Amino acid sequence: MKQIAVLASGRGSNLEAILEAERRGELSGQVVLVISDRRDALALEKAERAGVKALFLDPEDYDGRESYDQALIDQLKSAGIGLVVLAGFMRLLSPLFVRSFPQQILNIHPSLLPAFPGTDGVEQAFAHGVKVTGCTVHFVDEGLDSGPIILQEAVPVIQRETVRTLQERIHGAEHRLYPTAIDLFCRDRLKVEGRRCYIIE
């Protein structure tokens, strides 16, 4: 069974969905570590309540991004982590980190990539007046939201939508999609060829 670490900076709603999927027996892996770059992140509290080791690593204690990322790498390697899951982790990972876990880092983004990468994906889509947006689970590479796409779910933009209601509905899709993608990874059912990620039947 693969050991999973979740990196989170905020309230941890995707972490909660992942932990719930694990409790229901829908995840062929085990979340054993949650790390945050923010002391007050609710994700840490949720991890502790679930009996998962929760760790705050303060960026202020390190001299730059690579130094911090090396500390992250050391923690993950010592825990025997086979999959790193980003769940609202608000730091850009250095090439050093990405190369330490090749095709072992997943991220979820609130748009149908490659449309609207980067921060504020929901706001960007809303401002462009799109009729359909959604969320994307992808492997992390050294680019910005540019790794091979694993799964996507479309979310239609309804009449009289607001950014907030759209965000809430996309979050609902994320909570369904992310555990599914993690389970596929843990069961060795993902194969990457170039830019394409195939699901092995």
Q: How far apart are CA 69 and CA 157, in angstroms?
A: 37
Catalytic positions, please? 109
Cis peptide before 117 (omega within 30 of 0): no
For residue 105, give both structure tokens: 């880092």
Torsion, Cα of 167, 114, 120, 85 (10° steps): 80
Nearest C-alpha neighbor of 140 from the set 89, 177, 180, 184: 89
For residue 81, give both structure tokens: 């982590």
- Pairing between strand 132-139 and 190-193? unpaired
Q: Which residues contact 127 (CB under 8 A, 6 or more apart)?
A: none
Rama region for 116: left / alpha / beta (φ>0; ψ in -120 to 50; rest): left
> Is residue 116 classed as helix, strand or coil in its secondary structure?
coil
Under 8 Å between Cβ of 93 and 70: no
